[in-house]
Amino acid sequence: MKVYEGANLRNVVLVGHGHAGKTSLVSAMLYTAGATQRLGHVDDGSAVTDYDEEEIARKMSISSGLAHAEWGKSKINFIDTPGFNMFVHEARMVLPAVESALVVVDGVSGVEVVTERVWAYCEEVKMPRVIVVSRMDRDRADADRVLESLNRAFGRAVTPLQLPIGSEKNLSGVIDLVKMKAYTYELGGNGKGKEAEIPAALADKAKEAHEKLVELIAEGDDALMEEFFDKGTIPEEHLIPALHNAIREDKIFPVLFTSGLGNVGADKLLDFLVDYVPAPTEREFAEGGPGSNGEPPKRKIADAEPMSMFVFKTMSDAFAGRISYFKVFSGVVKNDATVQNFTRGNTEKLAHISIMQGKTAVPLTELRAGDIGAVAKLKETLTGDTLGDKASQIQYPAVKLPEPAITFAIEPKTRADEDKLGVGVHKLMEEDAMLRFFRDPQTKEFLIAGTGQQHIEVTVSKMRKRYHTEVNLKAPKVPYRETIRGRADVQGRHKKQTGGHGQYGDCKIKMEPLPRGGEFEFVNDIFGGAIPKNFIPAVEKGIKDAAARGYLAGYPVVDFKVVLYDGSYHDVDSNDLSFQMAGRIAFKKAMEQAKPTLLEPVMGVEITVPDEFAGSIMGDLNSRRGRIQGMDNKGGNTVVKAEVPMAEMLTYGVDLTSMTQGRGSFNMEMHHYDIVPAQQQEKIIAKAKEARGEQPEEEE
């Protein structure tokens, strides 16, 4: 594989609603560019970027996939991302690696819920966007209707750069509105368009669209505006660079048309990427996190700079081990180099750098600034880490993601499965940023958390196939917490006299509530050595341990402050353990006085449904103790924002599907903790007592 300079690279992410045709479009471009011998299909498992066995079985992308094509003098790196809402965070995570996004929209459905989501992700980081309307060969595909929905959702900066010729089964090509030329294709052919005259029936429409495009490009550029008024048009050699800049600066979001499956327009799309989307070196610099003097360090995207690279994705291959996907922000990455991991402080050896074509690693000798590569078997490096030349430290900011929305209890089927569980899950967590795994300190259950039911199901399936571990999922648990609403002032004394050495510890504490999110604060207010200094941490530990085990229903106690203000000790009998016990006793007594109460997680929920379902969705949210925060109308859809206790949302995915016949979607993030209403509290506490009945608390 040739080494490419930054100026000849294009890094492009494909984002969009599930099933819009992203993976098929990448296949079409790869085949058209000669990177594959045949056109890969999602439906028979031969698409380059859907290679994982879960993806093949489910015929959808689950994880981001990388591919590349050489086209003219350039190399285009593609990142194909999932569009299904439970996996769409994958798209957000790879944005630091690219300079433009292809927002793929279905030619029948137009803008859908996830289209708006990924658009917002791009907006957040000012990512240049190109819209590709794909699947134009399907029945009921309609370019005008889709353009309307795009303008409604994203404004007038969305403007066609092509028009399709024919539609549905008769889709036969595209008109380039800059060059004013037509290209025709055979559906299912080799993807190479033949230049042709613009069909007479479309001539007026094309002319009108061309003029609109030229006007939009000239807008905001005085020299071009003048030229436009003088000559009535702008020559191609001025138009192309101006459009390139307008795209880079988010002033124009051009629209192109394709069929991935029918391989129509893929060559023009490749041309377009080379001509119009920014090369990595067009970015002024890459910015690191805040430096020691407050000023964030910067790197020019150039080979001459010190080397720095950012790991934006990790894959865990059962055979090759850990594979890290990285973006070279500055300098040149050489095969076999030894580099520093600035995030973790260790050194790593880059043995066998490569670029990915789906699951296949293509070896390379070096990668220049702006390129994307992969390397296997790094020891400690994980997603979000920055590596580079030891002498020139920089750390690029990792992408922030919301907390998982759903938690399940996971139960190994056999003893052997239990032994393998942790290892397998931890490997999966390396490649999946939204997966969490922990053990409930109360119930000793293993818990697994993710973005939704399907996410967890995919994880369980991977556990079985990759790591031969069988598990059962049980009802999701709500991570309740406990806190106090009042104050307490108590004494905790532990004294035991059993032959030989005794035990003695004694403390007096005050307890008071902290605001939500205050966690735990311990203040040592002992004067005059009532408790010797070296035992004070033991008191704190005793309180913390007891708080972690809960008071009302076994949930961790949070948001409270303890002031240790007095106590006593015994020269011989006092030791660490005795003061820990004293702390625990004091904690329990204090909880009795301090009006303990349960807290529940409340989710921020955003629900999008077609307008006709708005009423019933609101009613349903009320019955779930939801608080409506706002309502918005967006092109036939109603978006409802609400805060709803997590306990009421555990099966919302299923419920929403049945309420809206599958036409609604939602997005949910942990928002805050709130006091549980008295009625619910009683039920939760009773249930916890019942559970404890089977599993008696350890004796003290």
Ligand X SMILES: Nc1nc2c(ncn2[C@@H]2O[C@H](COP(=O)(O)OP(=O)(O)OP(=O)(O)O)[C@@H](O)[C@H]2O)c(=O)[nH]1
Query: Where do contacts with ligand X occur on this chain (CB under 6 A)?
Result: 16, 18-24, 42-43, 60-61, 82-84, 104, 134-135, 137-138, 259-262
Kindly state the smallest distance separating residue 177's Cβ from ligand X, in Å. 21
Quickly list DSSP for 268-289.
HHHHHHHHHSPPGGGSS-EE-S
- Subset of 648-677 contacting Mg ion (CB under 5 A): none
Interacting partner of 357 out of Mg ion, ligand X, none (Cβ under 5 to 8 A depending on kind): none
Q: What is the 3-state secondary structure (H, E, C) of 125-178?
A: CCCCEEEEEECCCCCCCCHHHHHHHHHHHHCCCEEECEEEECCHHHCCEEEECC
Q: Does 81 bind Mg ion (CB under 5 A)?
A: no
Cα 162 from chain centroid (whole Å): 32
Contact 673, 599 (CB under 8 A): yes
Q: Quick one: 52 or 600, whose CB is closer to Mg ion? A: 52
- Decide whether 165 or 214 has the Cβ nearer to ligand X: 165
Least Å distance between CB 171 and ligand X?
Answer: 9
Least distance in angstroms from the C-beta of 427 to Mg ion = 23
- The nearer residue to ligand X, 86 or 234, going by C-beta atoms, is 86
Cα 628–chain centre separation: 26
CB under 5 to 8 A by kind: which of ligand X, Mg ion, none does 542 bind?
none
Which of 13, 564 has the CB closer to ligand X?
Answer: 13
Report phi then psi at 110, rounded to 5: 65, -145
Residue closer to ligand X (CB basis): 46 or 597 = 46
Structure tokens at 115: 């289209």
Residue 340 host element (H or E):
strand 338-341
Indicate the residue among 82 and 452 with the shorter CB distance to ligand X: 82
Question: CB-based contacts of 331: which residues, under 8 Å, 6+ apart?
Answer: 303, 304, 305, 306, 307, 308, 369, 388, 389
Q: Cβ of residue 542: shortest distance to ligand X, in angstroms?
A: 52
| Residue nearer to ligand X on the CB measure, 149 or 386 | 149
Work out what residue 596 binds among ligand X, Mg ion, none; the CB cut-off runs from 5 to 8 Å by kind.
none
Give min distance, CB of 259 to ligand X, in A: 4
Nearest distance from residue 27's CB to ligand X, in Å? 8
Residue 59 C-beta: closest distance to Mg ion, Å: 9
Residue 378, CB half-sphere, CA atoms under 13 Å: how many? Answer: 30
- The amino acid occupying position 35 is A
Nearer to Mg ion by C-beta: 22 or 268? Answer: 22
Do 60 and 82 touch, CB atoms closer than 8 A? yes
Of residues 2 through 31, those in contact with Mg ion by CB under 5 A are 22-23
20 binds, among Mg ion, ligand X, none (CB under 5 to 8 A by kind): ligand X
Task: Report what 137 binds from ligand X, Mg ion, none; CB cut-off 5-8 Å by kind.
Answer: ligand X
Using the minimum distance from each CB to ligand X, give the nearer residue, 21 or 373.
Answer: 21
Centre a 10 Å sphere on the Cβ of residue 220 and count the other Cβ atoms it contains.
12
> Candidates 61-69, 441-449, 532-540, 587-595 — which segment interacts with Mg ion by CB under 5 A?
61-69
Residue 112, binding choice from ligand X, Mg ion, none, Cβ under 5 to 8 Å by partner class: none
Interatomic CA distance for residues 639 and 631, integer angstroms: 6
**Range in contact with Mg ion (rule: CB under 5 A) among 60-68, 105-113, 489-497, 519-527:** 60-68
Rg (alpha carbons) of the chain, rounded to whole number: 30
Residue 259 interaction partner, one of Mg ion, ligand X, none, beta carbon < 5-8 Å per kind: ligand X
DSSP H helical ranges for 397-508: 415-431, 453-467
Distance CA 267, CA 8 (A): 17
Taking the complex as a whole, how short is the minimal distance between the CB of residue 653 and ligand X, in angstroms?
A: 16
- Residue closer to Mg ion by CB (options 10, 17) is 17
Exposed, middle or buried, 593 (CB in 10 Å: 0-12/13-18/19+)?
A: middle
Q: For 658, phi and psi rounded to 5 degrees?
A: -75, -30
Q: Which does 262 bind (CB under 5 to 8 A by kind): ligand X, Mg ion, none?
A: ligand X
Task: Determine the residue with CB nearest ligand X.
Answer: 83
Q: Please select the residue that binds Mg ion; options are 11, 32, 36, 61, rule is CB under 5 A.
A: 61
261 binds, among Mg ion, ligand X, none (CB under 5 to 8 A by kind): ligand X
Q: Which entry of Mg ion, ligand X, none binds 43, CB below 5 to 8 A by partner kind?
A: ligand X
In the list Mg ion, ligand X, none, the entry touching 74 (Cβ below 5 to 8 angstroms by class) is none
CB of 396 to ligand X, least distance (A): 27
By CB under 5 A, the count of residues binding Mg ion is 3
24 binds, among ligand X, Mg ion, none (CB under 5 to 8 A by kind): ligand X
39-45: long-range contacts, CB 8 A cutoff, minimum separation 24: 39/191, 39/263, 41/261
List the single partner that 174 binds among ligand X, Mg ion, none, CB under 5 to 8 Å by kind.
Answer: none
Closest CA to 663 of 612, 603, 606: 612
CB-nearer residue toward Mg ion: 16 or 479 = 16
- Name the residue nearer to ligand X (CB basis): 59 or 238: 59
d(CA 209, CA 121): 29
- By C-beta, is 18 or 331 nearer to ligand X? 18
Q: How far is the CB of 52 from ligand X (least distance, A)?
A: 11
Structure token pair of residue 356: 């990915």
Distance CA 506, CA 567 (A): 5
Shorter beta-carbon distance to ligand X: residue 82 or 626: 82
Other CB atoms closer than 10 Å to residue 215's CB: what's the count? 14
Q: Name the minimum Å distance from CB 60 to Mg ion.
A: 6
**Rounded alpha-carbon distances, angstroms, from residue 614 to 617, 652, 654, 658, 662:** 5, 16, 17, 14, 14
Shortest separation between residue 463's beta carbon and Mg ion, angstroms: 23
CB of 191 to ligand X, least distance (A): 12
Nearest to 32 by CA among 256, 271, 195: 271
Report the C-alpha gap between 144 and 163 in whole angstroms: 10
Which residue's CB is nearer to ligand X, number 247 or number 261? Answer: 261
Which of the listed partners (Mg ion, ligand X, none) does 141 bind, with a CB threshold of 5 to 8 Å by partner kind? none
Q: Which helix (H) or strand (E) holds 93?
A: helix 89-94
- CB of residue 470 to Mg ion, shortest distance in Å: 29
Provide the minimum distance between the beta carbon of 50 and Mg ion in the complex, in angstroms, as a whole number. 6
In b/e form, how buried is each residue of 647-656, taking b as 16+ CB within 10 angstroms? bbbbebbeeb
Binding site for Mg ion (CB under 5 A): 22-23, 61
